[in-house]
Amino acid sequence: MNFQGKPSNPDTQIFIGDLSPSVVEADLYSLASRHGEVIYIRILRHFQTKESLGIAFITFAQPQQASEGRKSLNGTLLKGSYLRVAKYSRERDPEANLFISDLPEHATAKDLDEIFSKFGPILSSKVSYSSRNHDELKSSTNDKELKSNRYGYVSIKKKEHAQHVITLGKIDVLGTKAIVQKFVPAGQRENLQWKNNLYIRGFGDNMTSEEEVVIFAQYGEITSHAVMHAKDFRGNDRYFAYVCYKNSEDSQKVISLLNNKTELTIFWYIASHQSRATRKAKLLQLYRKKVEEWKRTNLFIKGLPLT
């Protein structure tokens, strides 16, 4: 099998993302060849270190094989990471991307495929899971299931189909009413809604999306919300949430009433949501300010006697 043959028809190609660093071409061939003749596999790697960049391309002999491969492989757990498999497309309409929240914990990417394909052809779908750090993924050889963050993404081929789903507001996903919204990139999110959108932490693993709504809906109309779980670089669990209010006055009221205060046995930290770039810039500014203060208050003394 020649993994590095040249791809031909774009309709026979699929894109794979969220690969574990330990995955090699043979792993992908073992999975993909079950759905048809594989003529090309390439994992993109760093040009110096040769480490995997976490994405790959696979080309099948026939378009139908590529279509079946995408549906079957999407959401597959491989060496500690769920694969994100998309149909190859040169042009995607950003207006056709959906954000799905309040998913049931057992919902998978395959479930999203099946449910949303009723509205039109699906290019890709993904459910977000708690992440592992790079070293854990690199050494992972088993497929221990990860905890769902209860939100995901769906990319529909045509904008009009996506807009129809958005107008419905909520979609039944395995018995749970999931919220459907247009996906907004992080940069645009901050520009448009940074005063309305709150970042919240202080609670533990027992907080649910339903409880989040009960606590914060009393302060104003909520347009979107999500409870999330991740691990920091030390491997410690982090629990946090986002709440977006329709009116910025309501979000600012929540900050003034709850931030750095104990309510419902929780010591809350609540702030307006900021992009990573904005947070880094502010932290750098604070650090430089502290350095200047240290320079003014610290003294250097020399010439002291030895005794």
User: Measured between alpha carbons, how far is 152 from 83 in angstroms, rounded to an integer?
Assistant: 13
Q: In this structure, is the dihedral angle defined by the CA atoms of residues 81, 86, 89 and 94, taken in order, positive or negative?
A: negative
* Amino acid at residue number 262: T
pLDDT of residue 133: 56
pLDDT of residue 188: 61
Query: Which has more pLDDT, 297 or 126?
Result: 126
User: Which DSSP letter does residue 236 get?
Assistant: -
Q: Are 53 and 64 in contact (CB under 8 A)?
A: no
- Spell out the CATH class of 191-291: alpha beta
For 93-116, what is the mean pLDDT?
93
User: Measured between alpha carbons, how far is 199 from 243 in angstroms, rounded to an integer?
Assistant: 7
Please give the structure tokens belonging to residue 173: 């996903």
Q: In this structure, is the dihedral angle defined by the CA atoms of residues 25, 76, 154 and 270, taken in order, positive or negative?
A: negative
pLDDT of residue 24: 94
Q: What average pLDDT does the structure give for the chain?
A: 86
pLDDT of residue 2: 47
Identify the three-state secondary structure at position 181: strand
User: Measured between alpha carbons, how far is 166 from 179 in angstroms, rounded to an integer?
Assistant: 9
Residue 107 has pLDDT above 80, yes or no: yes
User: Percentage of the chain surpassing pLDDT 90?
Assistant: 56
Give the bridge partners for 153, in sequence order. 99, 126
Q: Give the angle subtended at the CA of 22 by the CAs of 130 and 106, to the nearest 5°.
A: 30
Identify the three-state secondary structure at position 77: strand
Distance between start and end Cα atoms, the chain: 79
Phi, psi dihedral angles at 255 (to 5 degrees): -60, -45
pLDDT in tens, 230-265: 888 788 888 999 999 988 889 999 999 999 999 999
Which segments of 153-305 does DSSP mark as H helices, in order?
A: 159-168, 186-193, 209-216, 248-258, 276-297
User: Measured between alpha carbons, how far is 81 from 130 in angstroms, rounded to an integer?
Assistant: 10
Instruction: Sheet with 122-129: list strands edge to edge.
Output: 122-129, 148-156, 97-101, 176-182, 170-173
